[in-house]
Amino acid sequence: MVLESIWFFLWGLLWAVYFMTDGFDLGIGSLLPFLGKTEEDKRVMVNAMGPLWDGNQVWLLSAGGVTFAAFPRVYAVMFSSLYSALMLILFALILRGVAFEFRGKVESPGWRKLWDACIFIGSLAPALLFGVAFANIFQGIPIDQKGVYQGTLFTLLNPYGLIGGVLFVLLFLVHGALWLAAKTDGELQARAAAAAAKIWPVEVVVAVVFLAASYFSTNLYANYMAHPLLFAVILLTVVALFGIRVFLAQRAFFKAWFASALTIVGATFYGVIGLFPNMFPSSMNPAWSLTAHNASSTQLTLTIMLVVVVIFVPIVLAYQAWAYNLFKTKVTLEDLVY
Amino acid sequence: MDVLLLSRLQFTATTIFHFFFVPLTLGLSVLVAIMETQYVRTGNETYLKMTKFWGKLFLINFAVGVVTGITLEFQFGTNWSGYSAYVGDIFGSLLAIEATAAFFLESTLIGVWVFGWKKLSRKAHAVVMWLVAGASNLSAIWILTANGWMQQPVGYAIRNGRAELTDFAAVVFNTFSILQILHVVPAALLLAAFFVMGISAYHLLKQQNVDFFTRSFRLGLVVGTIASFWVILEGDMHAKHVTKVQPAKLAAMESLWNTTSRAPVYMFAVPDEQNERNSVEIGAIPGLLSFLGHGDFNAKVKGLKEFPKSERPPVLLTFLSFRVMVALGTYFVVMMVIGIFIRKRLLENRWYLKLMMFSIPLPFLAHTAGWVLAEVGRQPWIVYGLMKTADAVSPIAASQVAVSLVAFILVYGLLGAVGYYLIGKYARLGPDAVAGPTAASGKGLRPAVV
């Protein structure tokens, strides 16, 4: 019982850290055509994520891996049900990943345009689709008793799913713009800060809409009503959200980015806490939902994996923090490796 | 075209493609780390140039390896949900450990290595590359442990309608996995060595950067020689184990139909699965299979007819892939021995350099053949003796898989073409080439981005 609950929150934590880290990469990539006015701008934007994006992306692999290890039935049902959405995300990430490396390898504007397009699509599509996927998970997915999905890709593109998708995009756009502002100077920095300031109010509006829509489309608030202390999570997230604006006004860009990171983590946990103990609810019949209790691995596996995670995740956080610290300086000419 | 066949084709294609790039990552990371260490130890700038040149090729390859790997983690769930639910208690944890212990280190530190030349001391920067090499090979160890469990499941019990872990140590120290690791990791070094030697040979034939490429070639030669002998000798141990625990695979590998003592090895055969015999048998060496498999010319070796038809792997593909792999493995040993003898007279032996240059793709073919053998030879089982591949597929629409399969063929085709084009381009340009965007488009860049 306890182990499964611990793992439920670890699972949520891994997704939260993924969105908090790769979120700014997906944001910057999505902003590439808009903030990158010159070739040099674009190179700076790409190199601002350069040292960190690959390490950030591994949080996705660990979230998926942990889903498989701790909740194999959830992994099996979730990944087969969301087949088309996941394939789209996958192809987007594939194109983004190689585009970073390939972009600068041939001296041709047409070549760079192609790979910049891959970075753009490869960033915007996952941002949108992750939001759509998670919103649908909050809402419940049409799976039958055997866990067989009864819908299509378009089933996921319902209003609540789309609001979730748009929210994720906005969260990541602001997150990316703030990172860029922190890492650059001059015109590009000004543009990035202005973008963050312009998108932030839209982010707030959509967040409010999403919170309201969740009341009607999901069961997320049941846990909060039962344990009102949990509303503190939503409150802290809102505080962080407004913290972004405050720090932005002070031009304290790293602090604003931290506030944005907390917002993203808070938003993820808002959903995860609301879901508990469900992990992949069935919209057809609650009895067919996959939960932390009916879809988990054995106690032995959960215990072994807990030991592994307790040892390795702090180590990972430590050397990733070291890498972030190493690369907190502004992007300069010599840094333009990509 | 049903969902099972499409999913099998997709998994085959995406895995083979991923594994074009992975061995080069595994092996070349070690070679580059050695070069950088030589630089740190000797201060000789040639080693720095080597590190940067071979490192550049490494990075292009690494990028494709990483992204094609994500596909595989997803695919166990998307296309093989039956498998994932049934064995996830064991298999899932091995993958999760791979990500937590290895992928993180590899992917975080490669960014540090690429961007941190000026931020770290020479020593620290070299250590980073060793950690990247260590982390990549560690990830290989975990995935091979996972595959080893599919080949010889251990440490489990069937309970609650699934395979449940009972003994983690048994899974981690599974003999099959260990033998597989000791085979594949050195084979990756072998591939990287041939890659380095082949490209070096190209430049040596053109008398370009002779000192640079002679040093590179010699490093490849040392590593390649050790690796090629190791792979064949250990491969024999591995095959002996397969004889014991996967007798159907062994029978198919050798196209042996009837259980016999003094079992022969056929140099070549054409199996006739319908009639349970070989329509062609060339070069039979009596007793050799008994000897290789059991260490005794008179030992009994099980033939395919011992196993029900529904439990035999596809014979021709298993047989051929094994032959291709062993033939190439032997060729590699021969080329390395020759190389050792003429290592001081490389430039005079143009025939050898030409052969080495054209041999670059061969280790890639050998690795592919090895995996085809391992996986096709295990059929019809997805977990040997426990679960059939046919029972493992996801209950999803075939049309979805048809679309994704076509998409993979197109996207991977593009990736492969572009990736190898770039590797070829920069390999040919050599170490003195203008190093990409920074230098080339210096115009328009302000000294510091302000």
- pLDDT, one tens digit per residue, over B82-111 is 999 999 999 999 999 999 999 999 999 999
Q: What percent of chain B has a predicted confidence (pLDDT) above 70?
A: 96
pLDDT in tens, B130-165: 999 999 999 999 999 999 999 999 999 999 999 999
Predicted local distance difference test score (pLDDT) of residue B445: 38
At residue A332 the predicted structure's pLDDT band, cuts being 50, 70 and 90, is confident
Q: pLDDT-based confidence at B433, cuts 50/70/90? A: confident
Q: Which of A72, A185, A326 sits opposite B88 (nearest CB)?
A: A72
* B447 contacts chain A (CB < 8 A): yes
Query: What average pLDDT is seen over chain A?
Result: 96
Shortest CA gap A298–chain B (Å)? 7
A18 and B CB contact within 8 Å: no
Distance CA(A195)–CA(A28), nearest Å, equals: 11
**Interface membership of B134 toward A (CB under 8 Å):** no
- CA of A335 to nearest chain B CA: how many angstroms apart? 7
Instruction: Give the model's pLDDT for residue B449.
Output: 36
- Residues in B closer than 8 angstroms to A101, CB to CB, are 59-60, 62-63
Q: Please check whether residue B60 is in contact with residue B20, taking contact to mean a CB–CB distance below 8 angstroms.
A: no
- Give the model's confidence band at B435: pLDDT under 50 very low, under 70 low, under 90 confident, else very high: low
B2: three-class secondary structure by DSSP:
coil
Establish if A72 touches chain B: CB-CB under 8 angstroms: yes
Between A66, A84, A323, which is nearest B111 by CB?
A323
B394 chain-A contacts, CB cut-off 8 A: 76, 80, 83
Chain A CA closest to residue B441? A107
Interface residue of B10, B75, B91, B108 to substitute, partner A, most A CBs within 10 Å = B108
Report yes or no: B120 and A322 within 8 Å, Cβ to Cβ: no
Residue in B118, B119, B165 nearest the CB of A301: B165
Q: What is the tally of structural domains in chain A?
A: 1
Interchain contact A191–B (C-beta under 8 A): no
CB contacts < 8 A, A to B, total 259
Provide, for chain B, the percentages of residues in helix, strand and coil under a 3-state DSSP scheme, each rounded to the nearest 5.
70, 10, 20
The residue count of chain A comes to: 338
Please list every residue in chain A whose beta carbon sits closer than 8 Å to the beta carbon of residue B63: 97-98, 100-102
Residues of chain B found within 8 Å of residue A76, distances taken between Cβ atoms: 77, 81-82, 84-85, 88, 394
pLDDT, position B450:
33
Q: Answer yes or no: is pLDDT of A298 > 90.
A: yes
Give me the sign of the Cα torsion angle B247, B253, B258, B263. negative
Residue B58 has pLDDT above 60, yes or no: yes
- Give the closest of A39, A50, A66 to B115, CB-based: A50
Q: Say whether residue A68 is in contact with chain B using an 8 A CB cutoff.
A: yes
Task: Supply the pLDDT for residue B442.
Answer: 40
Tell me how many degrees the CA angle A26-A99-B65 measures, rounded to the nearest 5.
Answer: 100
A209 pLDDT more than 80:
yes
Min mean pLDDT across B195-204, B276-285, B412-421 is at: B276-285
CA–CA separation, B38 vs B343, rounded Å?
20
A313 touches chain B (CB under 8 A): yes
pLDDT at res. B434: 57
A287 touches chain B (CB under 8 A): no
Asked if B78 lies within 8 A of A52 by C-beta distance, the reply is: no
What single-letter DSSP state applies at residue B99? I
A335: contact with B, CB 8 A cutoff: yes
Relative orientation angle of helices B361-376 and B175-205, to the nearest 10 degrees: 160
B168 shares contact with chain A (CB less than 8 Å): yes
User: A1: pLDDT confidence band, cut at 50, 70 and 90?
Assistant: confident
| Most trustworthy range by pLDDT among B36-40, B280-284, B287-291 | B36-40
In the prediction, which pLDDT does B422 show? 97
Distance between CA B49 and CA B55 in Å, rounded?
9
Residues of A in contact with B93 (CB under 8 A): 69, 297, 301, 304-305, 308
Contacts of A79 in chain B (CB under 8 A): 74, 76-78, 81, 84
Separation CA A239–CA A259 (nearest Å): 9
Beta-ladder partners of B163:
B158
B256 and B303 in contact (C-beta within 8 Å)? yes
Q: Which of A94, A312, A330 sits opposite B411 (nearest CB)?
A: A94
ipTM of this complex prediction, to 2 decimal places: 0.96
The minimal CB distance from B118 to the residues A68, A94, A334 is found for A334
Among the partner-chain residues B77, B84, B104, the one whose CB lies closest to the CB of A58 is B104
Cβ of A327 and B115 within 8 Å? yes
- Whether B448 and chain A come into contact, CB under 8 Å, resolves to yes
What is the residue extent of each domain of chain B?
Answer: 3-259+302-431
User: Residues 6 or more apart from B309 whose CB is under 8 A from it?
Assistant: none
User: If contacts are CB pairs under 8 Å, which of residues 46-75 in chain B contact chain A?
Assistant: 59-60, 62-64, 66-68, 70-71, 73-74
Give the model's pLDDT for residue A190: 97
Answer whether residue B443 shows pLDDT above 90. no
Which candidate from B82, B99, B166 shows the least CB-CB separation from A65? Answer: B99
For B165, the enclosing helix (H) or strand (E) is strand B162-165
Mind listing the pLDDT tens digit for each residue in A63-108?
A: 999 999 999 999 999 999 999 999 999 999 999 999 999 999 999 9
The alpha carbon of residue A313 is apart from the nearest alpha carbon of chain B, in Å, by 7
pLDDT of residue B448: 39
Mean pLDDT of chain B: 94
| B130, burial (CB in 10 Å: exposed 0-12, middle 13-18, buried 19+) | middle
In sequence order, which ranges of chain A are alpha helices (DSSP H)? 2-35, 39-49, 53-70, 72-81, 83-102, 109-139, 153-156, 159-183, 186-217, 221-226, 231-249, 253-275, 299-326
Please answer whether residues B223 and B31 qualify as being in contact, where contact means their C-beta atoms are separated by less than 8 angstroms: yes
The closest CB to that of A69, out of B93, B119, B441, belongs to B93
CA distance A61 to B66: 11
| pLDDT score of B437 | 52
Percent of chain A with pLDDT over 90: 98
Cβ–Cβ gap B166/A300 under 8 Å: yes
CA angle (B73 as vertex; B70, B76 as ends), nearest 5: 140
Given CB atoms, is B419 within the 8 Å cutoff of chain A? Answer: yes
A143 DSSP 8-state letter: B
Which tokens belong to B287?
A: 């007793």
Domain of A19, in residue numbers = 2-335
Q: Where are the beta strands (DSSP E) in B286-420?
A: 300-301, 381-383, 387-388
Predicted pLDDT of residue B441: 42
Q: How does pLDDT run across A19-58, given as a tens digit for each residue?
A: 999 999 999 999 999 999 999 999 999 999 999 999 999 9
Q: Judge contact between B17 and B11, C-beta under 8 A.
A: no
